[in-house]
Amino acid sequence: MRWLLLVAALLGCGRVHTVLRGATSVFRSSARAPRSDDPSLRADVRLSVQWVGHATTLLQLDDRMIVTDPAIVPTVGLLSKRIVAPGVTEFPRLDLAVISHMHFDHLSYASLEALESKIGLLAIPEGGFPYLPAFAFEARESAHWASIEHAGVRLTAVPAAHGGWRYGVDAAWARAVCGWVLEYHGLSVYFAGDTGYDGALFAAIARRFPALDLALLPIAPMEPHDLIGRWHMNPAEAVRATTVLNAKRMVPIHFDTFVNSLDMPGDAGPTLAAAARTAGLVEGRVTILEIGERRVFVSR
């Protein structure tokens, strides 16, 4: 039975080719996060983002706190251990948590359990309920281009070029995957979760949300791109997506946290910086955070 669970976990994360590297990470200790900025609700902030690691960010939109794809435990999917510890250990009260899809590194049961008493509402893509255990907080599904409203925040689920399954064997029917656009008090943030590059999709998002203040875009795994590029953007594609989305700012996510590709930790950030320079993006439009770092983009 243990081996069946192991195989299911590896298939669910869709990265069988990284089994050996992931297995060796189990025997290493996670490094401390380079930053541990204060995650508290701040009266002087209208928009800030703190990168907790991987696809987990802590957003402040005026007086609302939102966490994306919370994965704050040492290991996900039985084998994949964190390279770097989470950048936030004590979370504030969370008005909302959003889940982009069902993979172990995005829908983490143990992480949700750890945050259970703090979450006001969990938003998940349509089709996600069968994968969600019973928690004390309320959970709601949303279909693509449909919206949920909670605590004054409007959350719209948008399509993503990624797999929505969890256990591999459910890939034939599972479609629970999305990104989210969060709107509150005139502010708008696009959280892509995990997605391949799809120019038509990003253009459609831009038409519906023409004034995005911030885009949180994945930039890894990068290699082998001919194998995984259908499901994952590399840094150059994330720069292209930023332009198509016409987002005022972009913060990269989904890198340097778990072993999940053939590229090495530390590769993605400099590659993104170089791609942004090549594309002529103005300084400050792409902001690469350290794990644990909080950046204020709009102040009161």
The pLDDT, as a whole number, for residue 13 is 43
The pLDDT, as a whole number, for residue 28 is 66
Structural domain count, the chain: 1
In whole angstroms, give the CA distance from residue 219 to residue 208.
24
In whole angstroms, give the CA distance from residue 174 to residue 47.
34
Task: Give the mean pLDDT per block of 10 residues along the chain (300 residues).
Answer: 35 40 56 97 98 98 98 86 96 98 95 98 96 96 98 98 82 83 98 98 98 97 91 97 98 92 88 97 95 98
The pLDDT, as a whole number, for residue 264 is 84
Tokens 């402040």 identify what position? 60
Name residue 122's amino acid.
L
Q: What is the DSSP string of 28-76?
A: SPPBPPS-----S--TTEEEEEEEEETTEEEEEETTEEEEES---SSEE
The pLDDT, as a whole number, for residue 2 is 32
Sign of the C-alpha dihedral computed for residues 288, 232, 39 and 77 taken in this order = negative
The pLDDT, as a whole number, for residue 5 is 34
pTM recorded for the entire structure: 0.91
> In CATH, what number is assigned to the domain containing residue 100?
3.60.15.10
The pLDDT, as a whole number, for residue 12 is 40
The pLDDT, as a whole number, for residue 109 is 96
User: Which of left, alpha, beta for 79 (phi over 0: left; psi -120 to 50: alpha)?
Assistant: alpha
Task: Show the domain range for 157.
Answer: 2-299
In whole angstroms, give the CA distance from residue 167 to residue 54.
20
